[in-house]
Amino acid sequence: MTRTTLLAATLTAATALTPVFAQSVLRLDEVAVGELDPAKASDYADSILMFNVYDTLVLPKQGEPGHEGHLAESWEVDGATYTFTLRDGIAFQSGNPLTAQDVVYSLERMQAVGQGLSHLFGGVAAEAVDEKTVRFTLEEPYAPFVASLVRLPIVDKALVEQNATEQDPWGEAFLSGNAAGTGAYRVTAHNPQAETRMARNEDYFGEIKDAAPDEAVLRYSLEAATVRTLLAQGEHDISSQWLPPEVMRALANDGAQLFTESGTGAFYIKLNTAKPPLDHVNCRQALAHAFDYGTALQMVAITEDVSSGSAPTGAIPVGMFGANPAEEALARDMDKAREYLADCPTPPEDWDLEISWIAEVPLEERFALLMQANFAELGISSKIETLPWALFTERVASPENTPHISQIFVNAVTGDPDTLLYGMYHSSTPGTWQSPEYLDDAEVDAALEAGRRGPGEQEREEAYSALNDRLMELAPTIYGYDRQSVFAASDRVSAPALSDPSQAFGVDGMGFSFRLMEMTD
């Protein structure tokens, strides 16, 4: 008894002595590994880290197309030359001032490291005109260049060079464990398999909401059941998008909010066009018409209002250049499927389709079963194959080893259709995880190149519209559904960029800019 009183007294004294800092903490999770090196960032976890720790020259406008200056104050375009003027008085977290040299260094480092999304910056050269002006020169015209700059985080040249060694000239070891950016959050601890802790950067040059979290903890690879329990007990704030729909639904029924980020990607069921019988267009069309689009949408619905999918209308997600209007939803048509099948040279019983699914994404197993049942109605025999991601990326390197059917979620990493479609369908890029179709079609190539060249929106719209039509004729892919990411969240946090369409960025992961979130207690 006495001891308790004493303890209580000590605690009261301690509280009275220290000023009260109500540290607000945002807790979220994603799939491992969390790659902190911005030149290697490619997936969702990496993007969350990148958009909080680093800044880019431009940002997408919220709720509308186009871009606005961020680290850059303004820019001018002259053919294939882009000249950016940097904002004054921006400093890195280290205290070093940001200069044009840092921008040049960041581009060169990205190209030299050659990982992540470095392919976006293939034929680009940069030079520092003066302290505040940087000029990019493109080898050939690339209309979405400004859009691609949202994937060029600017690193602190002086700090990285200090930590580079002869064996590691680009400081890869340093940047995989430390931050060297201007971002609104500093990294306080980082373990790529377990968690990254970040704290607010009070010297940030841009807007940070007053109620933005003081600290953010991004944990990796939590089990769905763990996230479910933590969220229900108020021990977690935002789930990853990879929770199965049933778990999201249960959380929503318990009162969790559902955040969404949409419009730049789709669920693709990719057909290997280099392997019989799918080398024949009629055989592929038979599958595309036999697939049950309606049931697919039911499977990914979470509540009556929120779903991780909306009806597909063609090869390009609704809302992008060249997309068909939302009313023209694809639907199952078994009569047409049978007609196509009759003109397919291989009889259905000899098909022996391999339907693969990625072991890390349990939802895909259900799609594999759905397809197996759908195609069986046409008398097509098939077997289901589970491929872990690492094995899958290895198998797709040659057309013979690539399964007949692969299931892939792809997003336009910059929000532009070029980054969604070029890597998927251009004949120069076969055999990556994005292109297990092995499509080789001159008309498709021409449309992709025209879309990239632009220069105006009119030309791009026409090019992608033609591409869409051609792809629907060729059916290299079954367009499963247009996808949006859904996250379950506690009521402690509000994130307008993830809940209000007029505040959305349209770039994957950017909605997780912690500086724009607000903690409510």
Q: Between 370 and 472, whose beta carbon lies closer to another protein?
A: 370
Tell which positions 163-192 bind another protein, by CB under 8 A.
Answer: none
Q: Between 365 and 469, whose beta carbon lies closer to another protein?
A: 365
Q: How far is the CB of 246 from another protein (least distance, A)?
A: 6
Q: How far is the CB of 247 from another protein (least distance, A)?
A: 6
Region of 218-226, 345-353, 406-414, 471-479 interacting with another protein (CB under 8 A): 218-226
For residues 105-131, b (16+ Cβ closer than 10 Å) or e, as one string?
bbbbbbbebeebbbbbbeebebebeee
Region of 114-122, 280-288, 370-378, 430-438 interacting with another protein (CB under 8 A): 370-378
Q: Does 236 bind another protein (CB under 8 A)?
A: no
Q: How far is the CB of 386 from another protein (least distance, A)?
A: 6
Burial class (CB in 10 A: 0-12, 13-18, 19+), 319: middle
Q: Between 254 and 500, whose beta carbon lies closer to another protein?
A: 254
Tell which positions 237-296 bind another protein, by CB under 8 A.
Answer: 244, 246-247, 250, 295
Q: Which of 179, 202, 183, 152 is nearest to 52 (CA)?
A: 183
Identify the residue among 369, 379, 398, 455 touching another protein (CB under 8 A).
Answer: 369
CA distance 442 to 432: 19
Identify the residue among 13, 112, 373, 397 touching another protein (CB under 8 A).
Answer: 373
- The answer to whether the peptide bond before residue 312 is cis (omega within 30 degrees of 0) is no
C-beta pairs of 458-461 under 8 Å, 24+ apart in sequence? 460/143, 460/321, 460/322, 461/321, 461/322
Identify the residue among 332, 366, 453, 470 touching another protein (CB under 8 A).
Answer: 366
Q: How far is the CB of 76 from another protein (least distance, A)?
A: 52
Tell which positions 289-328 bind another protein, by CB under 8 A.
Answer: 295, 298-299
Are 98 and 91 within 8 A, CB to CB? Answer: yes
Q: How far is the CB of 509 from another protein (least distance, A)?
A: 24
Region of 95-103, 148-156, 158-166, 365-373 interacting with another protein (CB under 8 A): 365-373
DSSP code at position 503: G
CA distance 180 to 187: 9
The owner of tokens 């023209």 is 328
Neighbours of 262 (CB within 10 A): 21
DSSP code at position 233: T
Give residues in contact with another protein (CB under 8 A): 223-225, 228-229, 244, 246-247, 250, 295, 298-299, 359, 362, 365-366, 369-370, 372-373, 376, 384, 386
